[in-house]
Chains A and B, each alone.
Chain A
């Protein structure tokens, strides 16, 4: 039991650091969702099943989903701007 607890804490610390250091949001969202799952696992191990259930539905599902949707919109705006720029450049040429 002791070993599992230490292991999960180490994993949480390392993954948390990894989430911060993953600079590209599209990769980071995967890391965040994994991190959410790890936290949920930790809550289970530390005898908090209620919180673990919450964490699974929020941290591992709802949050990453919201972030993904926001990123999709942001990427779309970005692509549109690029296209506009390209078209203008073509016109200019």
Chain B
């Protein structure tokens, strides 16, 4: 079979490189380790791209150890490659590559350990994308987590960093156990761990067990995906993690949580939930909308740039949940494009924040006011990235957003567009505000404000020197350029439609995995879209976002008084809920699981 040998490589090549580097930890120099790690990452990315192009024509099913299923019972572990899973693996490799290039000057004190952690992180995320086995997914989930916890707590001198990592680790570990309990429930019902087999065995019947298992698995992965009310850890972890790690967290890791929910839903659960799609849709739309608006509001209220970007990620995760919630192939295609576009842009923004930290030693927006006016390259890239975040054509985010909106309109849910616009205005507005403040020195900052309510201090992550770090700008520029390129590839929307159709084809998936069936890929219908209308709307929204950002730094912004009271109060309350106390986070988490379960139980009965 064409390309069959390639399938395990995106996982085992990075892991092998990690093992070799760990063995040679004391014996290789930093530069050699850099080159080695970058080469392994490039290999994984190239193989993933090749797999994507092969699986466009024929999805691949790979059985480790050659244990093909017998009479529909799977004995071993399978990888199931379709264009979406392979593309996500490629995106993961690309982001890791950007992070590695960015961090050429980072982490000088820990030798090759950093590379080992990054490579295992990469292998784990690729495996998480490609696997077709539920328990194997849990294993990669944990592998991802173990490397992410360590990377996140890298700055052991900072109490915030340790506390943030602890919060991150504790909530995500509970998430992993939720997922495992859900898997155990499904195993108890079906006696299977392969997703295709479970999906087939569950049949058309949604009872308490199926609902609970779905709620546990969904909640567990939503913790990773930072969806309300499971999102609390994200801002803490992002605020404290080293910049290249933030690039990976926001750029891909969080999105993979949602990817897992989508995969599990369409392969395992859809048979049982098909009669209740509209109920499920209603619940998920509410969750997504709350996440999007909550994240956006808090994002706009932040002055710590990394925290601001983190809450922007929360907001965009809400939009992505909406993309999934519609439960339509067109929306799923839009979601896939949106994830790619958003990941690239968010990665670039975090890299630019890292450059600020590298040069100026802080990421506080007010403190940095006017301090970065001599950085023309950063200024340009930051502005372009802000435009991308707002969803301006021709960015990948625009493509994804307009597809999701089309799909929502077809379902008679036109109000979803408004959620997208509000989220874009809030998050992109905040980014434009930072841009104007920091890079242009616009607006006035009072001395009282400068002191701030609370001292934000960040340890410098790098050594001083190199005021214009070429490779850091290079990484950011490439990511932004790719985000534009994604939106310009002709026919990409159609490809995405076909891929989404394939991902939702449960019967086809089961037949390919369990019965060795050789089915052709069904092409999606070419759908003519009214591009002009969405082009115009997105442009208007971008302009509005920019205007909103500028308004926030103008002297007309109501700092005190009647109009700003409610907003200030809301932001203050919301910020207070993000207390940094792990007990609160776990209480909210428990609430979330209980609420999901009870709501679904009521809706379905």
Touch between chains A and B, by CB atoms below 8 Å: no
**B contacts, CB < 8 Å to A:** none
